[in-house]
Amino acid sequence: MIDLNKKIEIGSLTLDFPFFLAPMAGVTDYAYRVIAKEFGAGIVYSEFVSAHGIIRKNEKTLKMIEFSNFERPIGIQIFGDTPEVMEKAARLVYDQFKPDLIDINYGCPVPKVTKKGAGSAALKDLCLMEDITAAVVESVKEVPVTVKMRAGWNSENIVSTDAGVKLEKIGIKAITLHPRTTVQMYRGKADWSLIKELKENVKIPVIGNGDIQTIEDIEKMFSLTKCDGIMIGRAALGNPWFFTQIKKYMKNEDFNEISLNERLDVCNKHLDLLVQTHGEVVGTNNMRKHFGWYFKGFKHASGLRKKLVLVKNYSEMKDILSNIRH
């Protein structure tokens, strides 16, 4: 049974529900963060944001950082390839937006990021990782700085425990570990034993991430790794109710299956928030992938998803959602 009194302290920040919505590119924008918060996520994160874009004050980049007070506590996740750029970016993020924490991305395995030496490429050069981390910690002493990282570049170079010990000494306040390598991308199995090993070697909170799909997975991760919190990524796609389900389970309350009408209500809200934030064209385009996730596994879901993906504009999307309501 998940501990009802389980709290997590990240620097000056105390969370009484240690379940995090993972930062996901193209997913955890303002619209989805608001919805995840409504369903109980303990903390949410921005999509990962380029430090270079931040210091150039790129309008699109800065818009990705904007958030409302309702989303607090919120972390802004940044990535970059040099201490100087990351230091300036972190300072600007804090001065302009005042998030509750700043998270450094050492986990993104996507080649367009790693080729520039950012994301999980830092796992190949722990000296650079230390320099970048120290620069960010020094730059923003007002808020906790945390890290999300992978296990290593490949199976021959697993560095998560070594890196974690170094990061703690520098002043990082919590580490989220996704125990796959960069080379694995999202294939194969996450090696939870590495989360356990990291937890045994540092005193700061360790947040487990990877292969969480069910309540049973959460129980297993806590039991096997003794981690302090859990970050939920793909299991939350089209399923913000997962956070409510966890809360109900912790209180030994029943969780009823989500009805089609409940899904339609959230889809309508999500679509409206996206259009309000991004405008009709970008908002409706962004919503298409979410429809696929929201209606996955439902009877006649493939036909419905196809209709919603092919539809031309916002009003037609709203019509389809209205016509399938029971």
Average pLDDT over residues 126-152: 95
DSSP collapsed to 3 states, 75-98: EEEEECCCHHHHHHHHHHHHHHHC
Q: Which of 108, 127, 227, 267 is catalytic?
A: 108
Q: What is the pLDDT of residues 213-234, one digit of tens each?
A: 999 999 999 999 999 999 999 9
Least confident of 70-79, 95-104, 115-124: 115-124
What pLDDT band is residue 205 in, cutting at 50, 70 and 90?
Answer: very high
The verdict on residue 3 lying in a domain is no
pLDDT of residue 117: 75
Is 90 exceeded by the pLDDT of residue 206? yes
**41 and 159 assigned to the same domain:** yes
Considering 195, 229, 250, which residue would you say is the last residue of a domain? Answer: 250
Give the range of the structural domain holding residue 108, as residue numbers without chain letter.
Answer: 8-250
The verdict on residue 255 lying in a domain is no
**318 and 170 assigned to the same domain:** no
The verdict on residue 172 lying in a domain is yes
Structural domain count of the chain: 2
Average pLDDT over residues 18-42: 96
Give which of 158, 242, 228 is closest to 196, Cα–Cα: 228
Is 70 exceeded by the pLDDT of residue 4? no
The verdict on residue 169 lying in a domain is yes
Considering 250, 269, 293, which residue would you say is the last residue of a domain? Answer: 250
Is 70 exceeded by the pLDDT of residue 121? yes
Is 90 exceeded by the pLDDT of residue 110? no
The region, left, alpha or beta by phi > 0 then psi within -120 to 50, assigned to residue 171 is: left
Q: Give the C-alpha separation, 36 to 33, whole Å.
A: 5
10 Å CB burial of residue 110 (0-12, 13-18, 19+) is middle
The question of whether 108 is a catalytic residue gets the answer yes
Q: Which residue has the higher pLDDT, 29 or 6?
A: 29
Q: Count the Cβ atoms, other than its own, within 10 Å of residue 13.
A: 18
**27 and 114 assigned to the same domain:** yes
Average pLDDT over residues 33-41: 97
Mark out the alpha helices in the chain (DSSP H runs). 30-38, 51-55, 59-65, 83-97, 111-114, 126-139, 160-170, 193-201, 215-225, 241-250, 260-278, 280-294, 301-310, 314-323
pLDDT of residue 1: 61
Q: Which residues contact 95 (CB under 8 A, 6 or more apart)?
A: none
The CATH code of the domain that includes 274 is 1.10.1200
Is 80 exceeded by the pLDDT of residue 305? no
**What is the percent of the chain with per-residue pLDDT over 90, rounded to a whole number?**
74
Is 90 exceeded by the pLDDT of residue 7? no
The verdict on residue 129 lying in a domain is yes
Q: Give the C-alpha separation, 65 to 321, whole Å.
A: 30
What pLDDT band is residue 323 in, cutting at 50, 70 and 90?
Answer: confident
Q: What is the pLDDT of residues 155-196, one digit of tens each?
A: 888 999 999 999 999 999 999 999 998 888 888 899 999 999
pLDDT of residue 161: 97
Give which of 130, 221, 132, 135 is closest to 168, Cα–Cα: 130
Q: Give the C-alpha separation, 114 to 109, whole Å.
A: 6
The CA-CA-CA angle for residues 174, 176, 178, to 5°, reads 165
Side chain identity at 131, as an amino acid letter? D
Cis omega before residue 144 (within 30°)?
no
What pLDDT band is residue 318 in, cutting at 50, 70 and 90?
Answer: very high
10 Å CB burial of residue 217 (0-12, 13-18, 19+) is middle
Considering 250, 270, 300, which residue would you say is the last residue of a domain? Answer: 250
Q: What is the pLDDT of residues 231-256, one digit of tens each?
A: 999 999 999 999 999 999 988 888 88
Instruction: Share the mean pLDDT of the chain.
Output: 92
**304 and 237 assigned to the same domain:** no
**What is the percent of the chain with per-residue pLDDT over 70, rounded to a whole number?**
97
